[in-house]
Copies of this chain bind each other. A is one copy, B any other.
Amino acid sequence: MEYKFSDKVSGLQASAIREILKFTADPEVISFAAGNPAPEAFPTEKIAELSAELLRDDPVLALQYSVTEGYTPLRDYLKEWLSSKGCFHSGSDDLIITSGGQQANELSCKVLLNEGDTLLCESPSFIGSLNAFRSYNVNLVGIDMEEDGINLEKLEYALRTEKNVKILYLIPNFQNPTGRTMSLAKRKAVYELACRYDFIILEDDPYGELRFAGENVPTIKSLDTEGRVIYSSTFSKLISSGFRTGFVSAPAPIIQKIVVCKQVSDVHSNIWAQVICHRFMTTVNVPEHFEKLRGIYRNKCELMCSYIDNTFSKKITYVKPEGGLFIWCTLPDDCDMNEFCTKAVRDYKVAVVPGNSFNIRENEKSSSFRLNYSTPTNEQISTGMEILARMTKEMLD
Contacts and interface: CB of A to CB of B under 8 A. Distances in A.
A110 B65 CA distance: 24
Interface stretch (A42-50, A346-354, A355-363, A387-395): A42-50
Contacts of A110: 6, 8-9, 135
A269 to B, nearest CB: 7
A66 B100 CA distance: 13
Contacts of A47: 55, 59, 63
A266 B103 contact: yes
A99 B102 contact: no
A151 to B, nearest CB: 25
Contacts of A257: 5, 9, 12
A213 interface: no
B6 A65 contact: no
Interface stretch (A215-223, A236-244, A308-316): A236-244
The bracket for how many chain A residues form the interface is: 35 or more
A360 to B, nearest CB: 15
Interface string A224-245: 0011100000001000111110
A129 to B, nearest CB: 8
Contacts of A99: 99, 244, 265-266, 269-270
Nearest to A259: B14
A267 interface: yes
B52 A48 contact: yes
Given A36-B64, A60-B42, A114-B8, A106 B264 contact: yes
A382 interface: no
Contacts of A111: 5-6, 9
A64 B44 CA distance: 11
A336 B63 CA distance: 38
A243 B114 contact: no
Contacts of A184: none
A25 B9 CA distance: 41
Interface of A: 1, 3-9, 12-15, 36-37, 39, 42, 44, 47-48, 51-52, 55-56, 59-66, 99-100, 102-103, 106, 110-115, 117, 128, 131-132, 134-135, 166, 198, 226-228, 236, 240-244, 251, 253-254, 257, 259-261, 263-273
Given A135-B264, A270-B270, 10 more contacts: A3-B254, A4-B166, A6-B110, A39-B64, A63-B243, A65-B236, A99-B269, A128-B264, A244-B268, A265-B265
